[in-house]
Amino acid sequence: MIKSLRGMNDILSEDYERFTYFINTATHVAQKYGFHFIETPLLEETALFKRSVGASSDIVGKEMYQFIDKGKNDVCLRPEGTAGVVRAFIQKKLDKAGGVHRFFYHGSMFRYERPQKGRLRQFHQFGVESFGIDSVYEDANMIMMVADILVACGIGYRLQLNSLGDANCMPAYRESLVHFVTQCKDEVCEDCIRRLDLNPIRVLDCKNEKCQSLYVNAPKLINNLCQACENDFTKLKQILDTNNINYEIDTNLVRGLDYYSKTAFEFVSDNIGSQSAIAGGGRYDRLVEFLDGRPTPAVGFAMGIERLMELIQMPEVKKEGYYIGALDEDAIDLVVQLAQKKRKTDKVNIEYKAKNFKNHMKAVDKVNAKYFCIIGSNEIQSGTIIVKDIENKTEEKITIQEF
Ligand SMILES: [Zn+2]
Ligand SMILES: [Zn+2]
């Protein structure tokens, strides 16, 4: 028997209900905020991710589904959504056109990592990207959007917030951090030594406890922001306060790449293991430029749908539509005919096999229909049928014509 690949799941039945409920809810919220859907290819040139996600990251270094296609192109299944959207934005010359462009997307992403609970090799993300606005109000908008989506899905969260500074204040901070870590070089882990050369800011989110205890005393970026970054961060907090969004400052919440700036945020849930991130985002004012576009401020977020699945509170399922069945073989043709007519306006479940009343009733429960009507030779003769309203426990006798 051929099975699906490791870390690649089918989504069906109840999972599919949850999955589409989330997509629909998130789509609805994104549209209310003025975002438009964008679909980008699953397969892109490997160079795109090397440049945007960063050659030094684990994603690009170890986890990409990368191969040479039959045309000898070095290609890769997308490991995340932002790179493709930014590429499309530049390719369509929207950077040169100027103005505000807001997109949302959802779809499969691929990372070759060790599959574990809530972490798959083919997984799904919902995300948004906003281009052309440097105001911190748009950062706040992003955060409020995530909060709206989570609330609509009945998911509790904690919001963690940090500022990553910008090209003005980050370099000096980086130097002071490197200086600090160099002084305790003998005590930090091997990964942190490596990061010191490649990506020093990432030492701050090292998972090693020894490292973390040392970095408690490390200089904090939010204490070293330039005036512009400081003002934006203060303003952001004030907007969130005004709109009743609670947050915690997490000075260790960092992104490793130079094009990230200012706002960084993460939504975590305490209900799926210890401190699991369920959404993350922030400002990336220099990515468009990094990918050869005209400098354009941008901010966005992404949510991993598989991680959210078990947290989603589904609304109560309402009974809807019709169930039509035949009591004897002679009535089946009429059942099909009536179902076809009714489907112009309603959802209709039919049963092709003639059954007795009791067995039809069992089937109605399964499909959760609101109306129930069964047809036999008596009904054909009299030209009338009984339609039962299962929800309100009433029934009505009407002619087949009327039905
Ligand atoms: Zn470390
Ligand atoms: Zn700054």
pLDDT of residue 81: 96
What is the per-residue pLDDT for 294?
97
Does 13-169+225-309 carry CATH code 1.10.1760.20? no
Composition of the chain by helix, strand, coil, percent to 5: 40, 25, 40
- 38 φ/ψ angles, rounded to the nearest 5 degrees: -130, 135
Going from the Cα of 163 to the center of ligand 2, the distance in angstroms, rounded, reads 9
pLDDT of residue 259: 82
pLDDT of 263 reads 96
The CA 304 to ligand 1 mean position distance, Å, reads: 26
Ligand nearest to the Cα of 212, by number:
1
3-state secondary structure of 119: strand
Q: Which ligand is nearest to the CA of 204?
A: 1
Least distant ligand from the CA of 187: 1
Expressed in angstroms and rounded, the spacing between residue 262 Cα and the centre of ligand 1 is: 24
Cα 225 to middle of ligand 2, angstroms:
5
pLDDT of residue 365: 85
Closest-approaching ligand to the CA atom of 196: 1
Q: How much is the pLDDT for 402?
A: 86
Domains 13-169+225-309 and 322-399 share a fold: no
Q: How much is the pLDDT for 53?
A: 86
pLDDT of residue 60: 83
162 Cα to the center of ligand 2, angstroms: 13
Q: How far apart are CA 261 and CA 167, in angstroms?
A: 8
The H helix count followed by the E strand count for the chain is 15, 16
In whole angstroms, give the CA distance from residue 213 to residue 252. Answer: 12
Distance of CA 176 to the CA centre of its chain: 36
Residue 296 is predicted with a pLDDT of: 97
pLDDT at 104 (0 to 100) = 98
- Contact residues for 402 (Cβ-Cβ < 8 A; gap 6+): none
- CA gap 17, 20 in Å, rounded: 5
Token digits of residue 319: 């009974």
CB atoms within 10 A of CB 294: 13
- How far does residue 204's CA lie from ligand 1's centre (Å)? 8
Q: Which residue has the tokens 């690649």?
A: 8
Task: Render 149-203 in DSSP notation, one character per residue.
Answer: HHHHTT---EEEEEE---TTTHHHHHHHHHHHHHHTTTTS-HHHHHHHHH-GGGG
Q: Give the span between the Cα atoms of 390 and 387, in whole angstroms.
A: 9
Helices 136-152 and 227-242 cross at an angle (nearest 10°) of 30
Q: How does pLDDT run across 301-317, given as a tens digit for each residue?
A: 999 999 999 899 998 88
Give the Cα separation of 66 and 59 in Å (integer): 11
Neighbours of ion ligand 1 (CB under 5 A): 189, 192, 206, 208, 211
Q: What is the amino acid identity at position 307?
A: R
Residue that is written with structure tokens 């990432």 in the block: 202
Ligand at shortest distance from the CA of 191:
1
Q: Is 117 exposed, middle or buried (0-12, 13-18, 19+ CB in 10 A)?
A: exposed
pLDDT value at position 276? Answer: 83
Q: Residue 274: what pLDDT?
A: 62
| Domain edges within the chain | 13-169+225-309, 322-399
Asked if 399 contacts 387 with a C-beta cutoff of 8 angstroms, the reply is: no
- Give the CA dihedral 137, 138, 139, 142, nearest 10 degrees: 120
The pTM of the full predicted model, rounded to 2 decimals, is: 0.90
**What does the alpha-carbon distance between residue 131 and residue 300 come to, in Å, rounded to a whole number?**
9
Angle between helices 190-198 and 170-183 (to 10 degrees): 150
CATH homologous superfamily for the domain 322-399? Anticodon-binding domain (3.40.50.800)
- Mean pLDDT for back-to-back runs of 10 residues, the chain (403 residues): 95 94 98 98 96 82 93 97 97 97 98 82 97 98 98 96 94 93 92 87 89 92 95 98 97 81 94 81 94 97 93 90 92 92 93 88 88 90 90 90 86
| 192: Cβ contacts below 8 Å, ≥ 6 apart | 181, 203, 206, 208, 211
Residue 127: burial class (beta carbons within 10 Å; 0-12, 13-18, 19+): buried
Task: Write out pLDDT tens, residues 10-62.
Answer: 999 999 999 999 999 999 999 999 999 999 999 999 999 999 988 777 788 88
